[in-house]
Structure 1
Amino acid sequence: MLNIDQVAHDTAGAVVQLQGYQKLVKIAQAQVDSLKHIGDLIRQRNDAGATSLSDVVQTDTRVEGRAGNAYPVSGSA
């Protein structure tokens, strides 16, 4: 009986953890999408001469950095 209870407990914990990661991925993707939109606006401003190329590069760097960290992965079980 103890083994069945432990399996049920571990399974429930894994489900809760998975749901948490799914929410984090959605939030991270929304952040990346927002940064990409801001990047598009910065590029438009640069094309119009209203901002510098360094602003474009800085925004692109932020998008890439955030996209690289957007998906939390846990190697622990």
Structure 2
Amino acid sequence: MKLVGFFNLCREFWGENLRLDEALIQPLTDIAEVTASILDFNNDERILERELLKKVATNEQISLTNVPVSR
């Protein structure tokens, strides 16, 4: 078993470890893989939130009819 630390923005560069692919955050290194898994970067709610933020940033129409609400 190999121990791997967390991604540290103060020591590592985002673009060397992670890539934003549409609304998914893709890990590129072992450190990023561990961090993405533990912090659950790509759960359904976070992906939806990124999709909505992208639409807001680009002034796209947003339909909230099928957006799940967390309780």
What's the TM-score once normalised by structure 1's chain length?
0.30
Choose 1 or 2 for highest CA Rg.
1
Greater relative contact order, per chain length (Cα 8 Å cut-off, separation 6+):
1
Bigger share in helix: 1
